[in-house]
Amino acid sequence: MLVSTKEMIIKAKEGKYAVGQFNINNLEWTKAVLLTAQENNSPVILGVSEGAGKYMGSYVAVVGMVNGLLKGLKITVPVALHLDHGGYEGSFDAIEAGFSSIMFDGSHYAIDENIEKTKEVIKVAAAKGISVEAEVGAIGGEEDGVIGGGEVADPAECKRIADLGVDMLAAGIGNIHGVYPANWTGLKFDVLAEIEKTVGSMPLVLHGGTGIPSDMIKKAISLGVAKINVNTECQLSFAAATRKYIEDGKDLQGKGFDPRKLLAPGFEAIKATVKEKIELFGSVNKA
Ligand SMILES: [Zn+2]
């Protein structure tokens, strides 16, 4: 059964580790993430962007697939199904469909409008026991066509949003979606420390987990980050493994064209990436 992220990230913040959010795109992706979490006895968050939700045939279809896999694969670790960067309408649609956690991304609104809309989402979500993540300071890079300027969040604005009753807060600290450019200057730990001081026990979320060096990840966790989003890294490892299979001509040998064979190396590559991240984030055996 799906659970909200509330309990798992409070435990993570207290225990100084982070729960990984891995974005899913299809059945193979979802199965790979769930099985790896189960094998490592780790809580896990399945992230679904609005675009990925449409791709998989609607939020209702995603909920059906995930619930079916939880049951069919006998997954017993805590699993949350989380809308990633939801718009205002999309947030209510995902709640209605059965998601157990919502990120309402109002970071592109002026702060007062972000606050008003976040309040509305919390009201509806809280009544159903659904956790809510809010965002302050747009995160750089591109997420489904929304391009952020790589802003750095204002700790005072973080405090205003945190006080609304959100369960976790994403704050821009120089992190970027996608692959980091060569001239990236790193995470702004002074800002993160300032935010953590102002918001107290509120678990913080680090977006754009792909390619952030391990020492920076560990430092971010020590400063209150309890949820880390990983998306691009699984896509890169899936694509590389699939490319190798085809370049080696394996799809032309015997029944190598069978999708269950063709997609197997990519599936294994996602599993390896998820395992590596779960170990780095410290959530092994924290289910
Ligand atoms: Zn993000």
What is this structure's pTM? 0.94
Q: How much is the pLDDT for 148?
A: 46
Ligand 1 centre from 15 Cα, in Å? Answer: 24
3-state secondary structure the chain: CCCCCHHHHHHHHHHCCCEEEEECCCHHHHHHHHHHHHHCCCCEEEEEEHHHHHHCCCHHHHHHHHHHHHHHCCCCCCEEEEEEEECHHHHHHHHHHCCCEEEECCCCCCHHHHHHHHHHHHHHHHHCCCEEEEEECCCEEEECCEEECCCECCHHHHHHHHCCCCCEEEECECCECCCCCCCCCCCCHHHHHHHHHHHCCCCEEECCCCCCCHHHHHHHHHCCEEEEEECHHHHHHHHHHHHHHHHCCHHHCCCCCCHHHHCHHHHHHHHHHHHHHHHHHCCCCCC
Does 141 or 236 have the greater pLDDT score? 236
Per-residue pLDDT of 186-202, as tens digits, reads 899 999 999 999 998 89
Provide the residues around ligand 1 (an ion) whose CB is within 5 A. 207
- pLDDT band at 149; cut points 50, 70, 90: very low
Q: Is the dihedral of CA 68, 73, 78, 79 positive or negative?
A: negative
Ligand 1 centre from 243 Cα, in Å? Answer: 26
Active-site residue flag, 258 = no
Per-residue pLDDT of 7-42, as tens digits, reads 999 999 999 999 999 999 999 999 999 999 999 999
Annotated catalytic residue: which of 84, 105, 154, 167?
84
Ligand 1 centre from 251 Cα, in Å? Answer: 35
Ligand 1 centre from 258 Cα, in Å? Answer: 34
Ligand 1 centre from 104 Cα, in Å? Answer: 11
